[in-house]
Structure 1
Amino acid sequence: MKKNLLTIVALTSFAGSVMAQLPVSTTPQNKSAVLEEFTGIYCGYCPDGHQIANTIKNSNPTKVVLINIHAGGYANVAVGEPDLKTTEGTAINSMTGMNITGYPAGDISRVVVASAAQQTAAPYGMAQGRNKWTTSVNSILTQTSYCNVALQGTVDVNTRVLTVVAQVYYTANSPVSTNSLTIFLLEDKVIGPQHNYGTPYYNAANYNADGSYNHNHVLRKGLTPTYGITIPVTTMGTTFTTTATYTIPATYGAAGKTNPCLLGNLELAAFVTETDRPTITGANGPVMLSGFANALDIATTNMACDPFVCSGSNFASSFKFTNMGSTPVTSAVFSYSMNGTATGTINWSGNVNSMTSSQTVTVPLINFTALPSNTITVDVVSVNGSNDQNAVNNLGSKTTILTTAIANSINMQMDFTQDQYGSEDSWVVYNEVSNAIISQDGPFTDLAASGTLLHTKTFTIGANTCYKLVVSDAYGDGVNSGYGVGGYSLKSGGSPIITSNGQYGTGETKLYKSSASVGIGAVTAGNINAVNIYPNPTAGTTNLSVDLRQNESVSVSVLNAIGQEVYTLKSANYNAGVNTISFNTENWAAGVYFVNVATANGSVKQKLTVNK
């Protein structure tokens, strides 16, 4: 693993020296407000907090610093989701005197305002609810600051080494013995999910077309210790300068929960505190990019499509691209192919700055003959009307395989087990080609407490047809996340063909296909739920699926068209549920046979066709 290097070098100078020429102002100013916003992907009210904070920032663009800290229980994410927590953010979230009682929360320059605090009794706390932020920020902005702060950074796009220079200038003496300077690295447009309780959605403009959310001002790394470095001299006329270097990793987050870091979306924040509180003033600073090898260079990324294919009709796929060149990308042409056959081109237009990513680009629907393994490929044809100067990263591809889920009976049954929050859950089966709804169920009724409830629904399908099962959870935590162990099983003729443990987040899509000649399951008044024969027709080994309501003694006999018995299974004991009995028809003559499954409480007769 490549080690991230973090070093700090500090210099002290006085007004009039060469370091005073850096961008820090020497003119007395009012304070800038620093809003540390505590948030999380699973916090449904947090998008409202994001919107309130952005409104405050937009009203005071140079005087408000926003730092979004993902911390607390709502920031704990599942595997496959972006982990945006940091050690620094976790520490600040639980620092003495913060006293967070709910999310979203925010402190305004780490000041305790009793009338605005989330904790409504002494000793109150720095954390405030989102409805208090605007008033508290406006109050800070009217106060005189005894220092100013400014900073900027440069990152080499090849080595990803960031160098930051920050300055603090004292327009008056600090009234306390210890001042600290904290520098944070932030990132905008970090893509991920975001729960939302708003109707309509809070901060809807931050959602992308694919339903993902742009997380902004995300705290990525402290470039100083969490509560800063000590400023050695804090008297009027003093300029303090510090330099930090840091190698930015390609991704952040815990294993299985990583998310990419795009250099073009980075920004800096710095603020001065009296030890660790209150915050006196702060500033944002830019991260400038250097070291580009090419002006026009885009990399195809994030190829996406369903992992399985069935009919090959209306096949959907998409991709993104990253601008690796020094020039903004305003137009591009892409070609796409399926299984090596050129299919079409895509003309894209927009604006993607250096070292940032595009929105999702949708590939037109493709119709093709599905193979056991199929590959969709996208290639770059041109960038801004010219050739891409680096062809190495132009190609993107994704493989999808033919579904192995086969329904051998027209009789289908969906056993769906909800958790406590059934109102979030639903499922639909579509004809994959026509998109016609075949069957559906849900949302369901919530339970009074944590637990489960089974919902069973039956329906029928046609032969040699592709179907699509779409299962959805409105909250995004499936039906097995601590409120009951739910899940589902889709059965054909009593045999499961698709199952889930319920841990599917916002939902999942599964494909299956009915066989060319599906068996006909039958139900009797006895203890036999269903009988299914597959494959049917057959030329060799045939499977007999018998679904029993309870433990039962079962016998099987097979007669040909003139009533002669060609196969017999004497009575044997079988357990409740689906039991499979296999027999070989290789030596049987071609023709129609009748399979009789009998118990003491009823029997089922099925037709079997043998081909040669």
Structure 2
Amino acid sequence: MKKFFTPTLIALLAVMPALAQTLVTTAIQPRNAVLEEFTGINCVNCPDGHLRANQLYNAFPGRVVLINIHSGSFANPSSGQPDFRTPWGNPIDAFAGVAAYPSGTMNRVVWAGAYNAPPYFPQNPPNNLAIRRPGWWDTAYPNQGTGAYIILNGGNSPVNIGAATTWNATTRELSVTVELYYTASETQDNKLNVAFTESGVIGYQSGGSANYTHNHILRNLLTGQWGETITTVSQGTLVTRTYSYIVPVNFNIDNCDINVFVTQSDNKNTHTGISIPAKNGTTVGISDAYAAGRLSVYPNPASDDLYISGIPANASEVKVVNVIGKTVLEFDNYENQIKADISKLPAGVYFVNVTTGSKNMVKKFIKD
């Protein structure tokens, strides 16, 4: 029998001043596109959907999140075929109103009215969240009214997302820390969604081959079927959540990603999303452009000693923090370079923070 591992939420909610954030920027950011693609191993047209999604992903680096949901009858495996279904796939499929495969939701927006015209939004039927693949994004119409084009050029998100992961190879425990920062106030609760996906899985695909490479497969929703409700959504609010998940041994952590997105309270209208590697991945949201040519940390990854160099003479504070912003090392005496003993720190992702006046410089490093 197929087993699913339910992630455990570590009850961490922080509403704190913006200066406490480590992973997320406080600057207003444009919306990113989140494509939830409904697919199946016995769907002959689905390889074309995968192709179009990957074209979109490659055309806008860092601006597109892909989640492939194996749902519906085409996802039902025959003998010897891989089973990529999850308990969450069919409920999302029904919620989106999928009537044909492949289909997809673009930021869970109902694309209706003026946009509901070929070749942009052939729907299944009109007013459902799911749209056919020409409506996602099309190389033949890269600057016209497809879903991704409208999302990526349609203004800013009211909330920014930052995240970091820590992987324990011995226990196979994955820890995921998410930070949300609201640059504008929302009038309703939001839903935080954290999806675990896997790529590089070889298996049968109709319209493809017996050894087809499946990517972005939804494996788990760490926040449950419809996400976790966020009630603190006023401008200037910082929200922190941490989740843990025991990754099954048949999932290759090196090919897995954590995808985070935020919707409105009705699970529609995704504000934005991000994707990071599941194995020690991170988004450093705080601007470190000031530090780029000066501050450096090495070796990286490090096990025992970490050298921090390029520290400005007017630095007022130098410290090391973990992914939830807790200070784990502080330095009282420093000049241009510090030799830091990190041997007693647990393995994971850390940040060197250097404060000089009103500027904050950040460098990430990994402790082996």
* Same fold, TM-score > 0.5, yes or no: yes
Task: Provide the residue aligned with 2:179 in structure 1.
Answer: 167
Task: Provide the residue aligned with 1:268 in structure 2.
Answer: 258
**8 Å contact kept, 1:5–1:245:** no
After superposition, where does 1:394-409 map in structure 2 within 5 Å?
Answer: none
Looking at structure 1, the residues matched to 6 and 204 of structure 2 have their Cα atoms a distance apart, in angstroms, of 30
**8 Å contact kept, 1:29–1:145:** yes
**8 Å contact kept, 1:111–1:126:** yes
Cα root mean square deviation, aligned:
2.0
Q: Aligned letter for 1:264?
A: D
Looking at structure 2, the residues matched to 164 and 289 of structure 1 have their Cα atoms a distance apart, in angstroms, of 9
Looking at structure 1, the residues matched to 4 and 157 of structure 2 have their Cα atoms a distance apart, in angstroms, of 38
Aligned residues: 263
Looking at structure 2, the residues matched to 105 and 93 of structure 1 have their Cα atoms a distance apart, in angstroms, of 9
Higher strand share: 1
Task: Provide the residue aligned with 1:104 in structure 2.
Answer: 102
After superposition, where does 1:406-425 map in structure 2 within 5 Å?
Answer: none
Change (3 A) 1:5 1:161: farther
Task: Provide the residue aligned with 2:124 in structure 1.
Answer: 119
Tell me how far 1:117 sits from its aligned partner.
4.8
After superposition, where does 1:213-228 map in structure 2 within 5 Å?
Answer: 213-228=212-227
Looking at structure 1, the residues matched to 24 and 89 of structure 2 have their Cα atoms a distance apart, in angstroms, of 27
Q: Aligned letter for 1:151?
A: A
Q: Aligned letter for 2:228?
A: I
Change (3 A) 1:232 1:17: farther
Tell me how far 1:152 sits from its aligned partner.
2.3
Looking at structure 1, the residues matched to 65 and 109 of structure 2 have their Cα atoms a distance apart, in angstroms, of 15
Deviations 1:68-111 (A, max 9, x none): 0000011000132211011112210111xx22121000010000
**8 Å contact kept, 2:99–2:125:** no
**8 Å contact kept, 1:117–1:126:** no
Task: Provide the residue aligned with 2:7 in structure 1.
Answer: 6
4+ residue stretches of structure 1 with deviation over 6 A? none
Task: Provide the residue aligned with 1:131 in structure 2.
Answer: 134
Q: Aligned letter for 2:259?
A: A
Tell me how far 1:40 sits from its aligned partner.
0.4
Task: Provide the residue aligned with 2:275 in structure 1.
Answer: 284
Looking at structure 2, the residues matched to 106 and 159 of structure 1 have their Cα atoms a distance apart, in angstroms, of 35
Task: Provide the residue aligned with 2:74 in structure 1.
Answer: 74
Bigger radius of gyration: 1
Looking at structure 2, the residues matched to 39 and 104 of structure 1 have their Cα atoms a distance apart, in angstroms, of 5
Looking at structure 1, the residues matched to 157 and 280 of structure 2 have their Cα atoms a distance apart, in angstroms, of 32
**8 Å contact kept, 2:35–2:65:** yes
Identity of aligned residues (%): 38
State TM-score, norm by structure 2: 0.68
Q: Aligned letter for 2:161?
A: V
Q: Secondary structure at the match of 1:182?
A: strand
Query: Greater RCO between the two (CA within 8 Å, min separation 6)?
Result: 2
Q: Which of 159, 165, 169 is equivalent to 1:157?
A: 169
Task: Provide the residue aligned with 1:246 in structure 2.
Answer: 245
Tell me how far 1:47 sits from its aligned partner.
0.5
Looking at structure 1, the residues matched to 183 and 62 of structure 2 have their Cα atoms a distance apart, in angstroms, of 19
**8 Å contact kept, 1:24–1:150:** yes
Q: Secondary structure at the match of 2:232?
A: coil
Q: Aligned letter for 1:108?
A: M
Looking at structure 1, the residues matched to 125 and 4 of structure 2 have their Cα atoms a distance apart, in angstroms, of 45
Task: Provide the residue aligned with 2:196 in structure 1.
Answer: 185
Task: Provide the residue aligned with 1:573 in structure 2.
Answer: none
Deviations 1:115-144 (A, max 9, x none): 0252344xx201111011111101011222
Higher helix share: 2
Q: Secondary structure at the match of 1:11?
A: coil
State TM-score, norm by structure 1: 0.41
**8 Å contact kept, 2:18–2:238:** no
Q: Aligned letter for 2:18?
A: G
Looking at structure 2, the residues matched to 237 and 90 of structure 1 have their Cα atoms a distance apart, in angstroms, of 36
Q: Aligned letter for 1:119?
A: N
Tell me how far 1:154 sits from its aligned partner.
1.8
Change (3 A) 1:4 1:100: closer
> What stretches of structure 2 of length at least 5 have no aligned partner?
138-145, 282-300, 302-368
Deviations 1:424-470 (A, max 9, x none): xxxxxxxxxxxxxxxxxxxxxxxxxxxxxxxxxxxxxxxxxxxxxxx
Looking at structure 2, the residues matched to 63 and 93 of structure 1 have their Cα atoms a distance apart, in angstroms, of 24
Tell me how far 1:17 sits from its aligned partner.
4.0
Task: Provide the residue aligned with 1:58 in structure 2.
Answer: 58
Looking at structure 2, the residues matched to 165 and 289 of structure 1 have their Cα atoms a distance apart, in angstroms, of 11
**8 Å contact kept, 1:14–1:238:** yes
